[in-house]
Amino acid sequence: MPPLRTIGVVGLSLAGLRAAETLRRGGFDGRLVAIAGEPHLPYDRPPLSKELLAGARDPADVLLRKQGVDDLDLDLRLGVRARGLDAGARSITLDSGETVTCDGIVVATGATPRRLPPSICPPDLAGVHVLRTLDDALALRGELDAGPNRVCVIGAGFIGAEVAATSRGRGLDVTVLEALPQPMVRGLGEQLGAVCAQLHRDHGVDLRLGVQVARVEGDHRVERVVLSDGTVIECDVLLVAIGVEPETHWLDGSGLTLDNGIVCDQACVAAPGIVACGDVARFPNALFDDEPMRLEHWTNATEQGVHAAESLLGDEPKPFTPVPFVWSDQYDVKIQSVGRFDATHDIHVAHGTLADRKFVALFGRDGRLRGALGFSQPRRVMQYRKLISERAPWGEALALAEQ
């Protein structure tokens, strides 16, 4: 590996920013080319579906570095996107036509929201939104400010649920359409998914489960969503929140291995001199039996951005073994999840009841604690995160649950 004189960071959201900070903190004093993609300085994404959408915060309030990035001495390319990469030559082609040749590269291009196919939703129909970027959030906020008659959300995952909660907090009528029998049922199971469903119904959301969208209609602007059974949902604002895809299309033919993200080793290394981090990186997590993971959460972006940069600087990169952690604020409830689990795990509810919506649900498999989900129990959830990191036996977790 040649000396690192020029490093390119592709994507300057949370993971890319943390990588750039770590490179400078780690002693790299060469040229640091930051290809930001968006025209904005790095900003925090969690408030986009909550405080910023509600109007309680403005763009300046969500910047990740209030002091700016001048201290990082970046060759900063705001609003410029990478459109190609040659992994062997470690060269990045920009949409401006420029090629940047590097000694090391950090890829942190994140993910892109999935959209409804054109056969279901005309791509130029006004009033139809996705939510990923600051511009997305401001456009949606402008629609909510206008006082729509009804907001419709397709998808009851975290983003859809948070936008529904924020819209209800603004006094708007909200319908949520979900194809699954309960929200997030694949990860949580029927019983816990039903708790999430009831939370929204108790706050006045018209939640329709097990439904399929046939088409979205309107004359220049969305007016209704038609379900497969012929049911019509009138709306004048529509959010499509059906998940994201890793932003890897620009890497076709790059020489990197792509499979639901950039395939990395345990240390986040994708190829010699190239590391990946954040939503775009897929890596085997030794803490969970080398299960390949691509994590789309704030905490992982922070931790993996740091780790990937350290791997690029270090002679002997270390494995990245995080305990996944995600949170969501909905109404008066703080939902937190730690670990890696799904509905097929053993589930034990402790520290409260489902009816009170203040509890911790533990998930175990093969005699080991694998995860925990908490409703308004932040301190206890963090206790279980520590146990998961220590590979605690299932019995030890159940004993703690009885305390």
pLDDT in the model for residue 45:
97
Stretch among 1-10, 108-117, 177-186, 256-265 having the lowest mean pLDDT = 1-10
Residue 384's pLDDT band, with cuts at 50, 70 and 90, is very high
For 321-331, what is the mean pLDDT?
Answer: 97
Q: What is the mean pLDDT of residues 279-303?
A: 97
- Spatial strand order in the sheet of 91-94: 82-86, 91-94, 99-101
- The amino acid that residue 385 corresponds to is R
Helix 378-389 × helix 394-401 angle, to 10°: 160
Residue 251 one-letter amino acid: L
Both tokens of residue 62?
A: 């969500």
SS3 sequence of 212-235: CEEEEECCCECCEEEECCCCEEEC
Give Cβ neighbours of residue 386 (< 8 Å, ≥ 6 apart). none
Report which secondary-structure segment, H or E, holds 358. strand 358-365
Using an 8 Å Cβ cutoff, are 303 and 285 in contact?
no
For the chain, the average pLDDT equals 97
* Edge-to-edge strands, sheet with 151-154: 128-129, 237-240, 151-154, 174-178, 206-209
Asked if residues 132 and 226 have their Cβ atoms less than 8 Å apart, the reply is no
Domains present along the chain, CATH in parentheses = 6-112+245-313 (3.50.50.60), 128-241 (3.50.50.60), 332-401 (3.30.390.30)
How far, in whole angstroms, is CA 329 from its chain's centroid?
Answer: 14
- The radius of gyration of the chain from alpha carbons, rounded to an integer in Å, stands at 22
Q: In what order do the strands lie in the sheet with 232-234?
A: 213-217, 224-227, 232-234
Token code pair at residue 109: 């291009």
Buried b / exposed e over 314-331, threshold 16 CB at 10 Å, is eeebebbebbbbbbbbbb
d(CA 194, CA 254): 44
Predicted confidence (pLDDT) at residue 60 exceeds the cutoff of 70:
yes
What is the band of 1 on the pLDDT scale with cuts at 50, 70, 90? low
CA gap 64, 326 in Å, rounded: 18
The CA distances from residue 391 to 201, 291, 363, in Å, are: 37, 15, 13
Structure tokens at 152: 């419709």
Edge-to-edge strand order for the sheet containing 291-293? 262-263, 281-285, 291-293
What is the pLDDT, as a whole number, of residue 174? 98
What gap in Å lies between CA 19 and CA 255, rounded to an integer? 22
pLDDT score recorded for residue 389:
97
Average pLDDT over residues 255-263: 98
Place 403 in a pLDDT band, splitting at 50, 70 and 90: confident
Question: Taking the alpha carbons of 46, 49, 55, 56 in that order, is the dihedral positive or negative?
Answer: negative
Give the SS3 label for residue 401: helix
Alpha carbons 309 and 276: distance in angstroms, whole number = 9
pLDDT digits (tens, 9 = 90+) for 188-241: 999 999 999 999 999 999 999 999 999 999 999 999 999 999 999 999 999 999
Q: Is 386 helix (H, G, I), strand (E, B) or coil?
A: helix
pLDDT at 402 over 90: no
The predicted pLDDT at position 112 comes to 97
Q: Which residue has the tokens 């998930």?
A: 363
| pLDDT tens-digit series, residues 306-324 | 999 999 999 899 999 999 9
The structure tokens 């511009």 sit at 135
pLDDT at site 315: 85
Which bin fits 247, alpha (ψ -120 to 50), beta or left (φ > 0)? Answer: beta
What average pLDDT does the segment 18-42 reach? 97
- Give residue 108's pLDDT: 98
